[in-house]
Amino acid sequence: MNSSHGNNMAAHTAAAMLRQAQSVLITTHAKPDGDAFGSVLALSSALRQMGKQVRALLVPPVPENFLTLPGADTLEIVDSHTQFPGTLPGTLPGTLPGTLPGTLPGALPGALPGAAPHGNAGPSPSVQPPASPGGTTSLPGVAPHGNAGPARSSGHLSGAIDLLVILDTCAWSQVEALRPTIAPHLARTLVVDHHLSGDIAAAHRWIDGSSAACAQMTAELIELLDENDESADTPATLWTPTVCLALYMGIATDTGWFHYSNTQPQTLELAAQLLRRGVDHADLFRRLEQTERPEKLALLTRALNSLQLLAANRVAVMVLRPEDFVATGAQTEETERFVDVPQMVQVVEVVVLVTQSPDDLSAGRIRVSLRSKPGPSAVNVADLAAQFGGGGHARAAGAKVKGDLTQVLARVRSVVSQVM
């Protein structure tokens, strides 16, 4: 890990930055998973509760079932086919901790009408954005998603953005669509992440590789913001049903509903706290985990038919080809969790899924997903993924590889068998 990408602050410093910012842009990695989505939803919702102006941007694809969660209609989905402006309008308040320049190069002259005054470190009353006739968004390339009603409070930022927040990733490859928007503003960008590898040289980085989920870190921030929110007349103001459900979504999905090795005492303590605050665990499970289409089951059948056991049955390799997607009508993203299935076999230590959907084919890539079981002889699949130009966690990693499917498959078999 490069020193310019590791942790450089504590939770309370990150919370102080959030507290001082009046308008915040929050995003996460493309194709947000439950942790990314839950973290963005929880933090954006909590900051709005504090009266801040917030835009929360998601880079698609975003699973449809996520969009049924309360508060999801405040999030904006970026149109990745539209070019973003290289800079964000507005001026810097100059009140954030650290050394920030007074004015952004390339910023539009002056703040737009309705911009909140800055320099006030305390909580401010909710700033009403100026009316936007007939439109809900002012940033090109962003549209509110259509199936959960119009975005309520997003897209109305008055023009000045104090702080950019990137959650659950520190890698440019995962926020490529927003790179032109973010890159000029790294001096006022805060990364909150539980992945150790990354290359976004944001000035402010709270990175905790020991945390089970970004949502667990987000909960710590919300706890600190809640404690310090002098505007709160009752305790737990920020712990609304929307915030609690979103945080629970994040920690539950990133821990495989609390069965992965990353599950910590703190994770379960947070889960207990969120249940006490009213989260309906069974309802959330059904919303998130029991909404698949029959086409996915047909694709899983094909994946399992392709399964080969190598290295004395300790390695399971599955492959999905473009024709498997065509024959079943399944979508690229419907391979989610397939790689977990062969782990039900006792002797299987490592599972690899090599996928090339029609989308992958036209993008000229092959996706390699790797999983390993915990234990004294656990294989670090992040190291294996690195051999294919990818990365991830020790137990769950992946890579996108250029080349011919047959050749990549042969190389995967060889690399994985060698470490067993």
Q: Which residue is nearest to Mn ion (CB)?
A: 35
Q: Nearer to Mn ion by C-beta: 243 or 317?
A: 243
Q: Which stretch binds Mn ion (CB under 5 A): 138-146, 163-171, 293-301, 345-353?
A: 163-171
- Residue owning tokens 């402010």: 204
Residues 214-233 interacting with Mn ion (rule: CB under 5 A)? 214
Q: Which stretch binds Mn ion (CB under 5 A): 33-41, 42-50, 85-93, 131-139?
A: 33-41
Using DSSP's 3-state secondary structure scheme, residue 189 falls into strand
Q: Which of 20, 24, 35, 379 binds Mn ion (CB under 5 A)?
A: 35
Q: Nearer to Mn ion by C-beta: 29 or 156?
A: 29
CB of 213 to Mn ion, least distance (A): 5
Q: Nearer to Mn ion by C-beta: 237 or 261?
A: 261
Give yes or no for residue 167 binding Mn ion (CB under 5 A): no
CB of 35 to Mn ion, least distance (A): 3
CB of 252 to Mn ion, least distance (A): 12
Quote the DSSP letter at residue 74: G
Q: Which stretch binds Mn ion (CB under 5 A): 127-135, 208-216, 225-233, 240-248?
A: 208-216
CB of 395 to Mn ion, least distance (A): 13
Q: Which residues of 220-254 are buried (b: 16+ CB within 10 A; e: fewer)?
A: bbbbbbbeebeebeeeeebbbebbbbbbbbbbbbb
Contact in structure between 139 and 180 (CB atoms under 8 Å): no
Give yes or no for residue 193 binding Mn ion (CB under 5 A): no
Max Cα distance, the chain (Å) = 68
Size of residue set near Mn ion by CB under 5 A: 4
- Residue owning tokens 């300790």: 314
Give yes or no for residue 208 binding Mn ion (CB under 5 A): no
Give yes or no for residue 168 binding Mn ion (CB under 5 A): yes
CB of 24 to Mn ion, least distance (A): 20
CB of 214 to Mn ion, least distance (A): 5
Contact in structure between 59 and 52 (CB atoms under 8 Å): no
CB of 209 to Mn ion, least distance (A): 11
Q: Which stretch binds Mn ion (CB under 5 A): 79-87, 254-262, 348-356, 378-386?
A: 254-262
Spell out the residues 6+ positions from residue 405 whose beta carbon is closer than 8 angstroms to its own.
Answer: 319, 321, 354, 356, 366
Q: Which stretch binds Mn ion (CB under 5 A): 21-29, 92-100, 165-173, 307-315?
A: 165-173
Spell out the residues 6+ positions from residue 23 whose beta carbon is closer than 8 angstroms to its own.
Answer: 52, 53, 54, 55, 90, 116, 157, 158, 160, 161, 162, 163
CB of 167 to Mn ion, least distance (A): 9
Q: Nearer to Mn ion by C-beta: 115 or 214?
A: 214
70-74 contact pairs (CB < 8 A, 24+): 70/241, 70/242, 70/245, 71/41, 71/45, 71/242, 71/246, 72/41, 72/148, 73/144, 73/145, 73/148, 73/149, 73/150, 73/151, 73/152, 74/41, 74/44, 74/45, 74/48, 74/151, 74/152, 74/153, 74/154
Contact in structure between 100 and 162 (CB atoms under 8 Å): no
Phi, psi of 357 (to 5 degrees): -80, 170
Give yes or no for residue 254 binding Mn ion (CB under 5 A): yes
Q: Which stretch binds Mn ion (CB under 5 A): 113-121, 166-174, 304-312, 356-364?
A: 166-174
Q: Which residues bind Mn ion (CB under 5 A)?
A: 35, 168, 214, 254
